[in-house]
Structure 1
Amino acid sequence: MLRSFLATLAVTLGLVATSAEAKTVRMAVTDLVGLEELQREFGEFKKVLTETTGYEIEFLPVSNRTAAVEALRFKKVDLVMTGPAEYVVIKKRAPKTRIVAGLSRPDYFAVVVTLANAPYNLAKDLKGKKVGIGPVGSTSRHLGPIQVFADGGLEPLKQLEITHTKAPMLWEALKRGDVQAIGFNNTDFLKLRAKEAEGGLQPGAFRVIGRGPDLPNDMLMAGEHVEAEVVETIRKAFAEHGPRFIDAILVGEENKKYKGMQFLTKLDDKDYNYVRSMYRTAGFPEYSDFIGD
């Protein structure tokens, strides 16, 4: 009886010690505000990260992107999941933050679209015209299209009349002739074109006259204060259990954009120089503040 009691006690104490030793890692996502939303979209991801690293993952809601970078700077959060446009600002304001891993999204690029019967074949043909692009600050719906216009030979802020709104409203504005072209991401275009074909204009009624390169990856960032061992442990988990993490991310309805993704554990800051050029083109050459916050 005594031996059985001592064995049980040893197991219990071992479990308590293991629990006490589990490191807590705090995580935020810049696109999600409330704890309920974080849990819904990334709850399964959190579970897999805990199981594969042994760390206790704790969600920290942030009210906006500025709050996320301040939380990193003041060690209130350890990891931040964010996008390319946010990354360059965070890196400027907290230079010693590191990329833990990238989330490579297929077909992630910006397009400029006109009606096929319009007299525009290249982005530069739109000089002096009214165009619509997505919400201010978005990587693929604002900054991406702005850079497509620039790469096509225009000075967008001087030679275009630009209006901003959401993708469905852009689509209707183009059809009505309120704007001569619209810019957003390729996923928006394909979804809206497919929906349109169900009872409206057919795909051939639209023409892509500008396409940007595949955009840099979304990523998970670690604060300067996070130990190198923690960063490497998480990278190793992504490398060894990538399919589990991908399935976990895709549970979130807002995360369907990541379908077909891959985790990348070798990324370099220079991979995001194209995003910095977008900021300059949009009139924010310092890229030290979030556009639209």
Structure 2
Amino acid sequence: MNWLSAAARLFAATTLSFAAVATAHAQTVRLAVTDIVGLENLQREYLPFQKLLAEKSGLKIELYPVPNRTAAVEALNAKKIDMVLTGPAEYVVFKKRTDAKLVVGFSRPEYHGSVVTMVGSGVDSVDDLKGKKVALGDVGSTSRHLAPIQVMADMGLQPQRDVQIVHINRNVAVEAMKRGDVAAIGINRTDLPGLAKKFPDVVFKVIARGRDLPNDVLLAGAHVPDATVANLKKVFSENSEALIAAVLQGPDENQKFKGMAFVPTISDSDYHYVRKMYATIGQPQYAAFVGD
């Protein structure tokens, strides 16, 4: 009996020792987010998500700031980061320049671009924009640049030839539209309520609404083991509500995800429409970030 008890104690001690070693050497996964610059900003938006994902996955999740999208691609190829959360326009470049694996989509309800004018401006349709200036947002933005250009193309314009594109801040763009310096602005769904509040004297009119855009996406580098990717997919599936709540604790940038869901069934083909946008602006190879 004493021999069996000693053996049992030895087995238990050995098991605990192995568990302690495994915990101490938990796989480290470095996570970047392409639209947030600086560690302080990244932690403010994603620290609750980081902590919960680490707890549920058993991985050591580290937030890794990147200065821009190109740096994120280079870091992923160099294995300095392991995962990156990025937008649809960025995804197609990541896929072109890396062999990144899709983990899960971060949906954004009513995520689309629109072309907007003012009531009484005389611009009532996309055809009325021929020969005029259209103000869009940041170069390379999925919803404020590429999507509005593509919706104009989908409705028969050739944006490269038929309109003059300028890139300015959306508030400045509204002022320019009020003066008649631009005929329309390209915005996304979240912009319009804020603009209507800021410019109560302007009655906005949407003359073209783009199709819903693909999801933002969490990618894993080619060097990340398939077992780790499978584990993460399972974690997102089994802890969806808690992880969404953690994302939405981000007070600023992350509020764009209000009403979101995690989408586990995303595929590369979901992003063909974004590749079409790159072709429309004259970059059919989509191998570089527009504006970087």
Same fold per TM (> 0.5)?
Answer: yes
Q: Match for residue 90 of structure 1?
A: 94
- Residue 267 of structure 2: aligned partner: 268
Name the SS for the 1:26 alignment partner. Answer: strand
Q: Mapping of 1:97-246 within 5 angstroms?
A: 97-197=100-200, 200-201=201-202, 205-246=203-244
> Would you say the 8 A contact 1:30–1:82 is kept in 2?
yes
Deviation digits for residues 189-220 of structure 1 (CA, Å, limit 9, x no counterpart) = 222113333xx33xxx2211111001000010
Gaps of 5+ in 2: 1-5
1:277: which partner in 2? 276
Cα displacement (A) at 1:9: 7.8
Q: What TM-score does the superposition give when structure 1 sets the normalisation length?
A: 0.92
Map Cα deviations across residues 3-50 of structure 1 (whole Å, 9 max, x no partner): 9xx999879846632422311111111112211111111101101100
Deviations 1:52-107 (A, max 9, x none): 1000001221121111111111211110000000000010111x211100011111
Q: Is 168-177 or 108-117 further displaced after alignment?
A: 168-177
Partner SS, residue 25 of structure 1:
strand
For residues 221-275 of structure 1, give each alpha carbon's deviation from its aligned partner in whole angstroms, at most 9, with x where no partner exists: 0111111111111111111111111111111121100000000001111100110
Secondary structure in 1 matching 2:199: helix
Is the 8 Å Cα contact of residues 137 and 143 (structure 1) preserved in structure 2? yes
Q: Residue 85 of structure 2 aligns to which amino acid in structure 1?
A: M
Contact 1:105 1:259 in 2 (8 A): yes
Q: Normalised by the size of structure 2, how large is the TM-score? A: 0.92
Q: Name the SS for the 2:289 alignment partner.
A: coil
- One-letter amino acid of the counterpart of residue 29, structure 2: V
Alignment of 1:20-99 (within 5 A): 20-94=24-98, 96-99=99-102
| Count of equivalent residues | 284
Give the CA RMSD over aligned residues.
2.0
CA distance in 1, matches of 2:233, 2:15: 31
1:112-161 deviation line (CA, Å, top 9, x unaligned): 01111122222122100111111101000110111111111111111111
The letter for the 1-side match of 2:113 is A
CA contact (8 A) 1:140 1:185 kept: yes
Question: Quick one: which amino acid aligns to residue 206 of structure 2?
Answer: V
- For residues 12 and 227 of structure 2, the distance between their equivalents in structure 1, rounded to whole angstroms, comes to 33
Q: Using the alignment, how far apart are the partners of 1:10 and 1:160 within structure 2?
A: 72
Percent identity of paired positions between Structure 1 and Structure 2: 52
* Structure 1 unaligned spans of 5+: none
Match status 1:251 vs 2:249: yes
| Residues 1:290 and 2:284 are matched in the alignment | no
Could you tell me whether the CA contact under 8 Å between 1:111 and 1:185 is conserved in 2? yes
Q: Supply the distance in 1 between the matched residues of 2:143 and 2:31 (Cα, whole angstroms).
A: 24
Number of the residue aligned with 1:19:
23
